[in-house]
Amino acid sequence: MLRADSQTSLRDHQAAVARLVAQFIGPDFLDDTRDGRAALIAWLERRCSTMRAQGIAGAYHYDLPLHTELLRILAGEKAELAGDEIRSAPLDAGRWQQRAA
């Protein structure tokens, strides 16, 4: 599991994403913007859904370690996107002052 406080895990995650991009998809998914990350998440969700169906069907070419790695990368990307959204959210100071009064 990717933890936000672990630098080693973050480096492992970045290396895993780089391997994924080199093996399956183009370098356009290395975009760290919110839109680029959302595109990568959408691709990973589609790919994981397809692989899940292949695994359930018992397809001979199903690769469990790859599927597990893609799910791990997907979870990390979703966590990074959620963190970006939280960090970019404006603080609503007025609302907090009203509650205190």
Could you tell me the pTM of the whole model? 0.65
In this structure, are residues 16 and 74 in contact, taking their beta carbons and an 8 Å threshold?
no
Q: How many CB atoms lie within 10 A of CB 30?
A: 14
**Look-up: residue for tokens 């790859």?**
66
Domain spans, the chain: 7-88
Instruction: Please give the average pLDDT of every successive group of 10 residues along the chain, which has 101 residues.
Output: 47 70 64 82 92 92 88 89 80 58 51
